[in-house]
Amino acid sequence: EIVLTQSPGTLSLSPGERATLSCRASQSVNSNYLAWYQQKPGQAPRLLIFGASSRATGIPDRFSGSGSGTDFTLTISRLEPEDFAVYYCQQHGSSPLYTFGQGTKLEIK
Amino acid sequence: EVQLLESGGGLVQPGGSLRLSCAASGFTFSSYAMSWVRQAPGKGPEWVSAISGNGGGTYYADSVKGRFTISRDNSKNTLSLQMNSLRVEDTAVYYCAKKLSASGTFDYWGQGTLATVSS
């Protein structure tokens, strides 16, 4: 089973700053199958990035994804007030079919 | 517009059963694999089960194998999850999610339905 470890657990930043979130896999992940989601309280997760670096429909270009192998990064170039939320990475493997990281909470400093 | 609407959650005692449903609209339901993903209070999402577009392939997390059964009715655009022998640790919000083609990703999620297992 591939385990995804996200860091930091909590990131405190101000609007306008740059956010860098990390997702590290316990073994190599097919980049085509690495995604990032945003979740706000009381809402379902929302797909931001798929295939490690492709933005989903309607996602602003301040969100970008990068990485390969075991190290992946979600970058938010200039934080907007609506970006403060919890972010999860997710991969598609064999058993189990899908796994999620434990999340990074992005909070207002 | 893609819409996924779950129902069927509620309070059940340990050892009991629940059947969750997800009504899909806005896309060709039979063309897409679907999954159930759950999220326990204060925790991250956990994938539970998946089913192929034609229903011929089903997959389960080890934590629910032998207790949960996923199914779909493509004539009614409905996804279901039969949950038996429920445990306290199955308490969670259950989401149905549509798989993005050629990608191990979920591009649309329902609003979720809460299943609480407690005595």
pLDDT band at B24 (very low <50, low <70, confident <90, very high): very high
pLDDT band at B37 (very low <50, low <70, confident <90, very high): very high
Nearest to A63 by CA among A52, A50, A74: A74
Contacts of A89 (CB under 8 A, 6+ apart): A4, A6, A23, A34, A35, A36, A37, A72, A74, A100, A101
Contacts of B8 (CB under 8 A, 6+ apart): B18, B19, B20, B21, B113
pLDDT of residue A95: 73
Residue B103: is its pLDDT beyond 90?
Answer: no
Chain B residue at shortest CA distance from A94: B59
Nearest to A91 by CA among A20, A31, A39: A31
How close B29 comes to chain A (CA, Å)? 19
Chain A positions touching chain B (beta carbons under 8 Å): 30, 32-33, 35, 37, 43-47, 50-51, 56-57, 88, 90-93, 95-103
Which of B65, B105, B111 should be substituted to probe chain A, the one whose Cβ sees the most A Cβ atoms within 10 Å?
A: B105
pLDDT of residue B66: 97
**Average pLDDT over chain A, rounded to an integer:** 95
